[in-house]
Amino acid sequence: MGGLTGWMTDLKAKQMKSLSLLFPSLTQLETLSIGVDDDSSGLSEALHGLCIKTMCLSGNCGGSLNVHHAELLSQSLSSLTQLETLTLHVSTYIDLQLPQSLKYLNFYCTGISPPELRDLVKTLSTCTQTLESKMEFGCAIFTYEYDESILYRQADPISPEEYITIPRELTVQTNVAVKRFRILNRIRVNRWYESADSSWSVRDHVVVENDDYDAVIVDDETYNLFVRHLDKDIVNRISMRLQSYAASNS
């Protein structure tokens, strides 16, 4: 008997409290995709301990999720002991706690700094299981400021060259393999022209084992939404594939 699939988009944070009461009764729920306006404590409570195998978490209307309660969200993710595939579409980097059951990770981030990327890669490389990761992110960090009580977000670009040393640093680790590291340039502002990737061109890549490698994770819809919603002020992004193997205890 097949499992249930849930697809819930454009949710409000206040609705998550009700879902936290509903989800435990859905004992055959295997796949869950949620688009919510805020990562409230209600979201973390609703997700905690679910017996699901596949989950996609993003913001409303196909955009990225603004994470304000990273520790609570990360703790909920680590409680999903049967989760095998996780897709996250977030605005900024969060310190992840991943369940040991996880096999595939799609991590789409609007902007991430080189130190944050190092932290993410370190987390992935210390997993106690074999994990395939697909990482897509803009070369930028964000600053926020208020103007007449309105919060504005501004993308501060980071040179792609600042990220290049990271895959090279990983070559000394025996339990990590970088399968792709591509730098892409934005070639047109119109993000809805033809395919999502048609607004980008491959600029450069670090020589890796197989730059044509693509993870077996099929997630075209969320990936396309990530690319199309990426801030127009972000002119470079990076496409990275990583395989990490069970860390040795010796």
- Number of domains, the chain: 1
Instruction: Note whether residue 249 is domain-resident.
Output: no
Q: 3-class SS at 226?
A: helix
Give residue 107's pLDDT: 96
Segment 182-240, tens digit of pLDDT: 999 999 887 777 788 889 999 866 656 556 555 555 568 899 999 999 988 899 999 99
Instruction: Note whether residue 52 is domain-resident.
Output: yes
pTM: 0.86
Of the listed ranges 12-21, 24-33, 155-164, 177-186, the one predicted with least confidence: 12-21
Segment 130-161, tens digit of pLDDT: 999 999 999 998 877 666 666 667 889 999 99
Instruction: Note whether residue 202 is domain-resident.
Output: yes
Instruction: Note whether residue 250 is domain-resident.
Output: no
The C-alpha atoms of residue 201 and residue 151 are separated, in whole angstroms, by 32
Residue 2 has pLDDT above 60, yes or no: no
Q: What is the mean pLDDT of the chain?
A: 82
Give residue 103's pLDDT: 94
Which H, E and C letters describe 160-220, residue by residue?
Answer: HHHHCHHHHHHHHCCCEEEEEEEEEEECCCCCCCCCHHHHEEEEEECCCCCCCCCCCCCCH
Segment 216-225, tens digit of pLDDT: 555 688 999 9
Instruction: Note whether residue 14 is domain-resident.
Output: yes
Give residue 216's pLDDT: 52
Q: For 97, phi and psi rounded to 5 degrees?
A: -115, 115
Domain with 18, as residue range(s), is: 4-244
Long-range contacts of 99-103 (CB under 8 A, 24+ apart): 100/127, 100/128, 100/129, 101/129, 102/127, 102/129, 102/131, 103/129, 103/130, 103/131, 103/132
Segment 95-135, tens digit of pLDDT: 889 999 999 999 999 999 999 999 999 999 888 889 999 99
Percent of the chain with pLDDT over 70: 76
